[in-house]
Amino acid sequence: MAVYTEVSDEELEAFVAEYAIGEVVSCKGIAEGVENSNYLLQTDQGNFILTLYEKRVNPDDLPFFIGLMEHLARQGLACPTPLAGRDGETLRTLCGRPAAIISFLQGLWPRKIHASQCAPLGRAMAEMHLAGLSYGKSRPNTLGQPDWRPLFELERQRADEVKPGLAQMLDAELAELEREWPKDLPSGIIHADLFPDNVFFKGEVVSGLIDFYFACTDFLAYDIAICLNAWCFEAGGDFNATKARNMLIGYQQVRPLTQAEFDALPMLCRGAAMRFLLTRLYDWLNTPTGAFVKRKDPLEYEKKLRFHAQVSGPGDYGLEMAAS
């Protein structure tokens, strides 16, 4: 799936020769991820990931992402690290695209989530948030709350093709998010896309976080809200409060939430559901049939949005109050 660019042997060998990582033994496209072309590159010295950045990543943002991974790794976080070539550069060009060789991370991402994995997830996320505080750069969230309405306007005319009444529901929900969106929560670098396929485990231990290509500056608790959406609903649509509780407890073992963050959880969760609903809806309406990409169902997030809109308070996420 995620191989948009075929790299010839000559180009590959010339590229790898820029690094002190030995000779190419094999190179296979990886069927995961949808934004970039990823190869599992094996040399006589080990395994690496070769990433070619395709057009959905803005090349101007790459130094931010690459620098962030380097910074987090230096802080001791398990995350892929871009390798420097013999010239000291981590980012170069392959087949006309920006490209990097990244360290290979062991572990498996959970196809089926166990409640016992949610506390380690919460701890790893909090550790990333703390480690990110000393990263000197920032990057605005280009899919943050102010961006949702303009995105919706591109979809308004056709939203009801997916579900009758959807446009009106989104319009009303966006108005409420504009009125109620929190203003002054603790901010920092968030991952912004910490779905299960971006978290590797060895058993119950997180062995690494990957795919930092949506990372940006935003409320730290918004990252938690994204994970509550991505990790704590069952396939049938039911919310699993045990998973949510475990995640919040694990997170607070490393970084306790302020009462304001805790109280904002329902609204942050509604916003996170809105963000993924809108981008999935956009892809759904704009991916040509016959295209080479599997479209994700936007209505999964419409159901999640409805759940968050009806909770009676943050206690519905499994904890009565923030850690004191």
Q: Which residues bind its own copies (CB under 8 A)?
A: 1-3, 6-10, 12, 24-32, 40, 42, 47, 104-108, 110-112, 200-201, 289-292, 294
* Cβ-based neighbours of 11, under 8 Å, separated by 6 or more: 94, 95
Minimum distance of its own copies from residue 24's CB (angstroms): 7
Element (H, E) at 197: none
Minimum distance of its own copies from residue 303's CB (angstroms): 22
Minimum distance of its own copies from residue 199's CB (angstroms): 12
Q: Which is nearer to its own copies, 167 or 210 (CB)?
A: 210
Complete DSSP assignment for 71-123: HHHHTT-----BPP-TTS-S-EEETTEEEEEEE----B--SS--GGGHHHHHH
Which residue's entry shows tokens 């990433």? 51
Q: Which is nearer to its own copies, 29 or 182 (CB)?
A: 29
> Of 13, 7, 19, whose CA–CA distance to 88 is shortest?
19
Per-residue tokens: 310: 């009806």
- CB distance 91 to 62 below 8 Å: yes
Q: Which is nearer to its own copies, 179 or 294 (CB)?
A: 294
- Cα-flanking dihedrals φ and ψ of residue 175, to 5°? -60, -40
Determine the distance from the C-alpha atom of residue 168 to the mean position of all C-alpha atoms in its chain, rounded to a whole number. Answer: 28
- Cα-flanking dihedrals φ and ψ of residue 98, to 5°? -60, 140
Q: Which is nearer to its own copies, 150 or 290 (CB)?
A: 290
Minimum distance of its own copies from residue 49's CB (angstroms): 9
Minimum distance of its own copies from residue 34's CB (angstroms): 12
Q: How far, in Å, CA of 254 to CA of 260, rounded? A: 18
Minimum distance of its own copies from residue 206's CB (angstroms): 13
Minimum distance of its own copies from residue 162's CB (angstroms): 15
Question: What letters, b where the CB count within 10 A reaches 16 and e where it falls short, cover 299-314?
Answer: bbbbbbbebbbeeeeb
Q: Which is nearer to its own copies, 24 or 299 (CB)?
A: 24
Q: Which is nearer to its own copies, 119 or 177 (CB)?
A: 119
Q: Which is nearer to its own copies, 28 or 55 (CB)?
A: 28
> Of 54, 39, 44, whose CA–CA distance to 104 is shortest?
39
Residue 7: what residue type?
Answer: V
